[in-house]
Amino acid sequence: MWFLSKKYKLFILLGLVAYLGTSCQKDQIAPANQSTAFVKYYGHIADQAASDVIQTQDGGYLLVGATNSYIDAAESDVFVVKTDSLGNEMWSSSFGKIDGEVGTSYMRYDEEGIRIIELPDASAYIVVANRTYVAYPDGSSLLGVRGQTRIAMYSLDPATGAPTSSEGTELRTGIGSTHTDKVSDMKLDSTGGSYKYVLTGYTTNLSTNKPADIDHGAYDKTDILTILLEADFSEVWATGTTAYGFNGEDYGTSVQMLPNAYLVCGTIEEREANSSPSRFYSRLVAVKMRKDNGVPTNPEYFGDENYNFEGGHSTYDAENGKITIAAGVKGGSNTNKGYLVLLQLDESLNAITPNGVDFSCRYYNLSNENSASETTPYIAESIAFLPDNEGFIVSSTYKKTQLESTICIAKFDANLDVVTGGWPFSFGHEDAAGFLVTQDIGGTVLPISESVSGTSQTKLAGYVFTGTFGLATTNKMIGLVKLNLDGTFQP
């Protein structure tokens, strides 16, 4: 079932035939036992992008991202795909704010779904998206100017994926006219039986006169933003200008729910003392936010001027009281440039990383075939802990060249040592001549459990991950891959 987007235009038959005739390079890969492993692609003409995947209560999967599969504009709509347990598409839905005249401009909206949640009572799916305003001189113009980005919330009908409000709910619309808010993560807080949503990302609506800013805002660009919403998407509190930030670019990457606080993980940027010209470096940050008002408490920082970190994806093992953070080293005067990074904390934010070295982190070059470096890095995309203290699964993107990247799925044991055998699993393709390459970008990875027959227990049954899959010169698709327990496709 296809729910028409804001443009209300059906795909023309000629375009559909052209797509079907040129998409053979994206064949579905399905082993004999599809319940064990498969590769599926979703999308239409033009390009798609993937952000997130969850397993739904019916055993299927729900994916979210973006699509611009239309013939009249470059901007994208939010794109949601519902599948069964074998990855077969059941329905897809596309939606976003309607284009139109705004003042003296014709405004189009470029939207991408970032995270998706299934409510515990299965009454709705909740999507958070980034919405960028693109101004055109008129409706027929092909050249637009990208402006501010805002966060939009959608509630979807679980049977069809249609949004209950076609344009969703845009957040913080009254906070200035030109600032940008962008979301990177969302979690559901169902404490006490009521639903709330906690979001993190960044804002350009900056806090001024920061105590640690000796440059008085001269280099300040973004602050970490955290927002708590009621079930109807009304704001409980938002903390950005009243929270924390340094004199550069600060990003909230992920959020977790601790027993008495929300935990935001990300990066903060600082200027190297006495550097001329000014040099900046990014440290990892973990900070607790009070649930009642969002006030940050006891932030902890990891790094110095020799390291330039990026990322801050996290997973929380509540049973063992451990937070594990996945990041990357994008630069600095160190020998770990381009490496994947893992950092483990307890609930008091003390570092407890097994065999940690610099700043209590572990650093990984995930493949002997790929030499990680500042120009060919592993970029962390997602991390999930495995049940029964079996370790962690991590998705990253290995950027081999400007035109070629592959997805790397690595498994780590409870001591954060790399598991070998079928791991790491690499998804991508290059022909023998090196002419045919893929640009694959990782998204969410998660473990999959199945019921143990005759009991109320479950067991680990494999792993799924999503990503943006495509040849460098053709349209990109949303992909879904299911691996068996040893990281292969063998039934």
Supply the DSSP string of 127-182, one letter for each residue. Answer: EEEEEEEEEESSTT-S--EEEEEEEEEEEE-TTT--BSSTT-EESSTTS-SS--EE
Range 26-47 average pLDDT:
71
User: Which residues, 6+ apart, have CB-to-CB distance to 302 below 8 Å?
Assistant: 283, 284, 285, 286, 309, 343, 351, 359, 360, 361
- Residues 154 and 415: their CA atoms lie apart, in Å, by 39
Residue type, position 190, single letter: S
The model's pTM: 0.91
Number of neighbours of residue 439 by Cβ within 10 angstroms: 22
pLDDT at residue 8 above 70? no
Mean pLDDT score, 451-468? 89
pLDDT confidence tier of residue 438, bands split at 50, 70 and 90: confident
| Average pLDDT of span 447-454 | 86
Structure tokens at 5: 């987007």
Distance separating the N- and C-terminal Cα atoms of the chain: 31
What is the C-alpha separation between 403 and 68, in angstroms, rounded?
21
Average pLDDT score, the chain: 86
Taking residues 404-414, report their average pLDDT: 94
Share of the chain above pLDDT 70, in %: 84
33/64: higher pLDDT: 64
The answer to which of 26-30, 153-157, 419-423 has the lowest mean pLDDT is: 26-30
Count CB neighbours of 179 within 10 A.
16
Q: Which residue has the higher pLDDT, 137 or 104?
A: 137
CA 146 to chain centre: 22
Q: pLDDT band for position 413 (50/70/90)?
A: very high
**pLDDT grade, residue 22 (50/70/90)?**
very low
Most confidently predicted of 60-74, 263-277, 282-296: 282-296
Do β-strands 2-3 and 89-95 pair in parallel, antiparallel, or remain unpaired? parallel
For tokens 């055109």, the residue is 136
**pLDDT reported for residue 27:** 41
C-alpha distance from residue 181 to each of 171, 176, 486 (Å): 9, 11, 40
466 pLDDT more than 70: yes
Specify the pLDDT at position 106: 93
Residue 47: CB atoms within 10 Å = 18
pLDDT for residue 13 is more than 50: no
Closest alpha carbon to 113 in 74, 159, 77, 162: 77
Give the whole-angstrom CA distance, residue 128 versus residue 185.
Answer: 8
Minimum mean pLDDT range among 49-53, 260-264, 469-473: 469-473
Interatomic CA distance for residues 43 and 47, integer angstroms: 8
Residues 391-407, mean pLDDT to the nearest whole number: 91
Is residue 28 over pLDDT 60? Answer: no
Give me the percent of the chain exceeding a pLDDT of 90: 63
Q: Are 411 and 393 in contact (CB under 8 A)?
A: yes
CA distance 450 to 407: 25
Distance CA 54, CA 4 (A): 23
**pLDDT in the model for residue 35:** 64
Quick check: helix, strand or coil at residue 17? helix
Whether 77 and 49 have beta carbons less than 8 Å apart is answered as: no
Q: State residue 203 phi and psi, 5-degree precision.
A: -135, 150
Q: What is the pLDDT of residue 242?
A: 46
- Residue 482: what pLDDT? 95
Phi and psi angles of residue 457, each rounded to the nearest 5 degrees, phi first: -90, 165
Beta-carbon contacts of residue 90 (< 8 Å; ≥ 6 apart): 1, 60, 82, 83, 84
What is the residue whose two structure tokens read 């003392």? 273
pLDDT at 26: 38
Residue 475: pLDDT over 90:
no
| Strand segments (E) across 193-233 | 196-203, 223-229
